[in-house]
Structure 1
């Protein structure tokens, strides 16, 4: 069996799979129940892949003692036994060795002895003001200081930990000899800080040394750096990073902020590669970026550049709010899913008390899972699949059992009402996943990311007069969704003409400068009949701030180009809902996703170029339906949402084909077999 990740899609023996998994924090449960809980996820949820963190804090509480992976010090440390148990039960595994994991554990799963406060040789992670960054979920305020990832002492200790996991846990349990098919490194950035501002980190000596090293690589000489920044430095060591916005309108001064954004991207990639190399795992490596916040969208865009990660694959998480009620949460979710192809590696299916009471019902997570897949995700994860109750106080002294409070498999091992909801989704995508992934979203245009502008806009804020990126993207998103149109996101510095040509229109942020090869690319796109909407001024300089206006000249020539015909679209004509469609390139097959908002009342009607689709769905629920030849095929419809006290007989109608439940219930048909009361 071969396992690889191609363009964000998990491919097993040459077949694309929607990666469906569920998390089980074995270290929070008694080993005696591991087998029962794993069977429950397999049999009641339809899960074939288990994900789990491997907490450094749990396995090596004492720096003088080697990590315990076999349970010699405590039975719950027998992660080798846990992984082998997964193998015996026919389950695959995504191993997540951190070194930082969050997961509501004390100090994010890091051992206390690597804290800079405990060892003065360990550099702290510093913000722009020179203050140490702290993990605020630590039980004692103001929280433990986090170590600088590139600090030599911490890096050596983290490397030792990750190497031990690779050698003592994964070597013997990794595919093809064992069940481990994928490894996730880090957590939501590095320390769950992927969406934080560019001024939040890292101003430590080790990070600034890396920053200046990158400046040297980018500019070649201090003289060239001085020319493009209007400075007079004599040595690289004299150059300081930005720490506040200077309200500049000069391109030379803006370069400093663009540099810091680029540094963040390469810093993140450097940490990922060093940690992944330490594990030396022979299966694909993936990461789980947290989505951007509303305020730090530009910061996130500047930092998150999967195109530069080479052999590290993109993935993302949820944790941003209830998207069926919050347009900001929905926009953030769609941005994360569209930034690059990859799986949703943590969808909240179990936490209501910790995050939002709406998650007590499966409809909330069902809606969000289908939104992620419709927007571009290549898989989803149930976080967590099981409620646990047997962890040691040193792992987590803040949260009470069960963890989480409303998991699909309860802490006593019984299946809750969420179980059949997950099983329907798992079975639907097991049956149709390869075809679903072959289908492309029917987009009416694309947004072109020019990420040097994101690095500037992250500091400048709205109304500064500087170039935009994130705010332009968000405005584009709002326009497109208001019109019921889907879109793509394209990173311009790595894009090809072939990729741009797949889109009839392209919205691009404007500004004072733009890479020469990007301007040439966009000019070629225009020459081929594409249409560009420039959000801002046309650049008249290249990336080295030398005169270059290829894009402006091409835009002037293309000014009279007629509008291209509209792409296939779907339109909600009744009800409060959103809709996405994916179209197969070679067959008359479509997958329509209907996302019903929490304020909806009554049936939802969606018009497509091939007919009308109507559904009766719970408020806050969602539908996915396969249309073959314009006819109704398989589907999953959510008819129940106990949190919103919404219960309807789920139904789906396409043309003269109508399937409905005979009482308030969910409804699904998979492989032609109806589940529910149809």
Structure 2
């Protein structure tokens, strides 16, 4: 069996498919129940791929003792036995060896002995003021709260060496004998939720350690080529790269040279992630594809810009993009919705952690399967290539060495409970898994029907991340990205239009041609190659709109460059671009109800595709969608479902095919007799329930 990830899509022996997975934290359960829990997960949910962290602290609690992967020191460390059980049950596995895993474990899954507070050889990660970045450790303080310990700097020499030892041990002792085709392991995930879970933290939060700054300055020398070139661009007179200081003070840039310095710091953050990911992967040496799991932006004003500056998958060179959730209930909160959709749209890749089990720890809304179902199908509609049930099974067999903070079960309301019994959510997951097992390849190949695309120029995000909250976005004037993108997202949602994101620094004319209408916020400078790319896009008859900011007059070294300005000002260009972009969107429109609608069409058939309807928590009554089918034909689609629920409809030649629809949301006390209709062709349930048709067979789930 040959496993590949192409543009974020799983291919098995060349055949594409949607990546549907569920997590099982074996290290939190007694080995005596592993087989039973895995079998129940498989049989009750239809999931055939399991994801599992391999916690460093669990398998190597002492620094001078080799990691235990076969249970020789404790049965629950027998990950090799666990993987054999998976293989015997016909389950494939995505292993996740960290080094940092979060997963509500002590010290994020790192062993205590790698903490700078306990090992002076380990360099701590530092913020702009020289303070270490902290994370809950594995010991309670005098106040009864978990002590917060400093995290290691990701490129520190001792940490790098010990992480390398850990990854090589996993590669040799675990992966060599369990990787497909001989074994069940089909993919590997390194890291989790960014670098030490802070992918969306401000750019001044890290890493100002000595190793980090050395890497920053080395990167500058490679980028500029010579100190003379750096001095000329920045207006400085430095005589050594060691004299370059990073930005530290949060304020609006006072000059274009200061903006350039912030762009340099943002590029460093992207390169820091790439260097860490590649270093860990090289030590691991897997023979299957590797992906990472980054967290979406946080709720802070600076977070969109910090995240966009730091998370640049195009620089990862063979390491694949994946993202997670954990930011709020998207059917209720517009801010959570925007951040969630951005993560799904940033690059092709699967959702590697969707909350299907935690209500007490996060939000009581997750006690209802409708909440997680809504978010899972929203991720897919927005561009994700896979979904994950985190976690699929409740566990209760761990000790304080793994988790001192939480009481069993972990989690409290997943599809399979701590006694191994299926819950109401198991049936919901089963319908979802079966639908996309049947239609996932076609769904992913169908083209998203969108309006304009946001043209992402990450250096602008690196500049704008430092702008204080009190600085209004309309007054940014110069380089900006995150706040204008957030405003653009809200505008598109209000108008009922979908959009895409394209990274300008990695695009070429062919890839950009797939985005005939681009919008962006301008700035004083822009790389000459990017200006030429956009000018060529205009010359090809496409549309480029600046929604704010300046038309760049300088290149990446602050030399005069008006390539884009001239292209935008060319005689007749505005009229031609307006005409080219006037009919670019012909997607679904919500006519009645509070909902969002997404439409994907199968190539060569405008009347065949997938309509996703996301019902908001405040909706009352049926949702009606006007769906253009090409050739001037429009279908009227009506969906009657629970508040906070969702529907996915396969439209075939303008008629209703298979579908999924949630009619129950226990958290919102919403119980609706489900109904879906396409131009009068109607399917109605008999009682309040979830309703599905898969392979032409109707299913009713009353919970």
Cα distance in structure 2, aligned partners of 1:568 and 1:629: 17
The correspondence of residues 317-466 of structure 1 with structure 2, limited to 5 A, is 317-461=324-468, 462-463=471-472, 464-466=476-478
Deviation sequence 1:289-340 (CA, Å, 0-9, x none): 1000132110000000001111100000000100000000000011000000
Q: Aligned partners of 1:649 and 1:302: how far apart in 2?
A: 46
Matched, 1:293 2:298: yes
**8 Å contact 1:249–1:465 — kept in the other structure?**
no
Would the aligned equivalents of 1:484 and 1:572 in 2 still touch at CA under 8 Å?
Answer: yes
Match for 2:514 among 488, 502, 508? 502
Q: 2:266 corresponds to which residue?
A: 261
Does the alignment pair 1:489 with 2:501? yes
Aligned to 2:194: 189
Post-superposition offset of 1:560: 2.2
The residue number in structure 1 matching 2:563 is 550
Aligned residues of 1:440 and 1:585 also touching (Cα < 8 A): yes
Partner of 1:674: 698
**Structure 1 residue aligned with 2:310:** 303
Tell me the alpha carbon deviations over residues 531-585 of structure 1, each in whole angstroms, 9 at most, x when there is no partner.
Answer: 1111221001111111110111111111222433142211111111111111111
**Residue among 551, 556, 569 paired with 1:538:** 551
Paired residue secondary structure (2:121): coil
* Structure 2 Cα separation of the partners of residues 380 and 138 of structure 1: 31
Q: Name the structure 1 match of 2:222.
A: 217
Distance 1:262 1:342 in 2: 22
1:4-57 CA distance string (max 9 Å, x none): 000010111111110000000000000000001101111000000000000011
Deviations 1:104-150 (A, max 9, x none): 00000111011111111110010110001110365545501101111
Query: Are 2:604 and 1:589 equivalent residues in the alignment?
Result: no
Q: 1:600 aligns with which of 619, 636, 657?
A: 619
Task: Indicate whether 1:31 and 2:31 are aligned.
Answer: yes
TM-score, normalised relative to structure 2? 0.95
- Gaps of at least 5 residues in structure 1 are none
Q: Deviations over 1:449-487 (max 9, x none)?
A: 011111100112444543111111111111111100011
CA distance in 1, matches of 2:126, 2:673: 55
How many residues are aligned here?
A: 678
Counterpart contact for 1:42–1:48, Cα < 8 Å: yes
Task: Report Cα offsets for 1:187-246 as digits up to 9, x if no partner.
Answer: 111211111111111011111110010000001111111111111110001111111135
For residue 208 of structure 1, give the secondary structure of its aligned residue in structure 2: helix
1:518 is the counterpart of 2:518: no
Partner of 1:129: 129
Whole-Å separation in 2 of the counterparts to 1:139 and 1:486: 47
Greater shift, 107-116 or 140-149, is seen at: 140-149
Distance 2:27 2:138 in 1: 18
The separation in 2 between residues aligned to 1:137 and 1:520, in whole angstroms, is 50
Match of 1:115 in 2: 115
Q: Indicate yes or no: 2:687 matched with 1:663.
A: yes
RMSD: 1.2
Find the residue that maps to 1:64 and give its secondary structure. coil
Partner in structure 2 of residue 474 of structure 1: 486
Cα offsets for 1:152-192 (capped at 9, x unmatched): 11111111011101100111000111010000001111211
Cα distance in 2, alignment partners of residues 246 and 652 from structure 1: 53
- Say which SS state the counterpart of residue 313 (structure 1) adopts: coil
The residue number in structure 2 matching 1:6 is 6
| Offset, 1:373 | 0.1
- 1:486 aligned counterpart, secondary structure: coil
Residue 142 to residue 129, structure 1, CA distance change in 2 (3 Å): farther
CA distance in 2, matches of 1:162, 1:252: 41
CA distance in 2, matches of 1:611, 1:146: 56
Matched, 1:69 2:76: no
1:178 maps to what in 2? 183
Whether the 8 Å contact between 2:17 and 2:441 is mirrored in structure 1 is: yes
Residue from 575, 589, 603 that aligns with 2:593: 575
SS at the partner of 1:626? strand
Contact 2:252–2:466 (Cα < 8 Å) also in 1:
no
Contact (CA 8 Å) 1:313, 1:342: kept in 2 or not?
yes
Indicate if the aligned counterparts of 1:230 and 1:253 stay in contact, CA closer than 8 A: no
The answer to whether the Cα contact below 8 Å between 2:672 and 2:688 also exists between their aligned partners in 1 is: yes
> 2:672 matched to which residue of 1?
648
Name 2:648's counterpart in structure 1: 624
Question: Retained in 1: the 8 A contact 2:477–2:550?
Answer: no
Alignment CA distance shift 1:248-1:196 (3 Å): closer
Moved over 6 A (4+): none
| Structure-1 separation of matches of 2:460 and 2:503 | 12
- State the SS of the aligned residue for 2:396: coil
Work out whether residues 660 and 677 of structure 1, in 8 Å CA contact, stay in contact via their aligned partners in 2.
no
The answer to whether the 8 A contact 2:478-2:522 is kept is no
Counterpart CA distance in 1 for 2:491 and 2:513 is 22
In structure 2, distance between residues paired with 1:437 and 1:137: 41
**1:432 to partner: Cα distance:** 0.2
Distance 2:68 2:279 in 1: 23
| Structure 2 match to 1:240 | 245
Q: Distance in 1 between matches of 2:70 and 2:137?
A: 29
Deviation at 1:499, TM superposition (A): 2.3
Q: How far 1:500 moved relative to its partner? A: 2.2
Deviations 1:346-403 (CA, angstroms, capped at 9, x unpaired): 0000000000000001000000000000000000000000000000111001101100
Distance 1:131 1:478, change over 3 A: same
Contact 1:249 1:466 in 2 (8 A): no
Aligned to 1:559: 574
Residue aligned with 2:5, SS: strand
Question: Contact 2:251 / 2:466 at 8 angstroms: preserved in 1?
Answer: no
Could you tell me how far apart the structure 1 residues matched to 2:467 and 2:230 are? 22
What residue ranges of structure 2 are gaps of 5+ in the alignment?
Answer: 141-145, 629-633
Q: 2:178 aligns to what SS in structure 1? A: coil
What is the DSSP-based 3-state SS (H/G/I as helix, E as strand, rest coil) of the residue aligned with 2:196?
A: coil
CA–CA distance in structure 2, aligned partners of residues 283 and 198 of structure 1: 33
* Residue equivalent to 2:631: none
Distance 1:546 1:376 in 2: 38
